[in-house]
Amino acid sequence: MNLLDAIILGIIQGLTEFLPVSSSGHLEIARSVLGIEPESGFYFTVVLHGATVLSTIVVFAGELLKLTKGILRFQINEETSYLFKIFVSMIPVGFTGFFLKDRIESLFTGNIIFVGSMLLVTSALLFAGHLMKGRERSIGYFDALIIGIAQAVAVIPGISRSGATISTGLLLGNRKDEIARFSFLMVLIPVIGANIVEIFTGDTFEGDVRIFQLIAGFTAAFITGYLACKWMVELVKRSKMIWFSAYCAIVGLIAIIVG
C-alpha cells in the first residue's frame, strides 16, 4: 500500500460509512482493484472507522453533550434512558469482538465474491425495511438489543452496519428518523474501543501499512466523513431505502462476476 492508496481508501470510507452500502465491503473491493495485500486490511479498516467515528462525534457534539448531562448529574430522565439503550445495543458487538475477533479478521482477505454475496444480503435487508409500514414505535430496550445484534452481524464485510441496523429498526416498527439517529450514535463506543485495543496490542501496524499511510488514510476519512455525515444523515432519513437496495444489488453482482 502506498500513500495514494491510503488516501483513496480513506475517501471511500468517509463517503460510504454513513450510507447503508457497507463501507467495509467497498474497502475490500477497492483493495482488490488496487492490488493491495489483504494482510493489513483489518487493522487499517479499524483506523479508518476511528476517523469516521471522530467525524460523527464532531457533528453530533451538541447532542452527545445533552445525552451525558443526566449521567453527570446522576439523574434518570429521557436522555439517560436513551443512553442506556445505546449501552444495551453495544452488548452483542462487544461479545463478538471479544470472543470472535480472529474469525472476524479472517474474513478480511480480499475475497470479493464473498463481499459481493454479502452486499446482496444487505440489498435484501434494505428492501425488506423499505416494505415495512406503520413505523411509529419508539426504540425500547428490547429493540436496542435486536438492533445491536444486527450491528454485530454487520462486522462481516459487505453487510452494511447502518443498513442492517436501520432496516432492523424499521422491521421492528421504529420511526425512520429515530432509528437513523440511533444507528449513527450506537457505533461510537464500540469502534473507539476497538481502536484503543489495537493501539495497546500494537497490531495496528501489521502488514505493509506504515504510520504515515495510517495518518493519510485517517485524515482523508475524517474530512470526507465529516462532510458526508452532515449531508447524509438527512439523506438517509428522507430517502427511500429501495434505491440503496438497488445500488447494493448492482455492486454485489458486479463484484461476484468480476471475482
pLDDT at 53 > cutoff 90: no
Q: How confident is the model at residue 119, as a pLDDT?
A: 94
**Has residue 205 got a pLDDT over 60?**
no
Q: Which residues contact 191 (CB under 8 A, 6 or more apart)?
A: 46, 49, 50, 53
Cell of 138: 419508539
For the chain, give every domain's residue range. Answer: 3-258
Q: Is the pLDDT of residue 168 over 90?
A: yes
Which of 33-47, 108-122, 127-141, 224-238 is the most confident on average?
A: 108-122
Q: Model pTM greater than 0.75?
A: yes
Higher pLDDT, 105 or 39: 105
pLDDT at position 67, please? 76
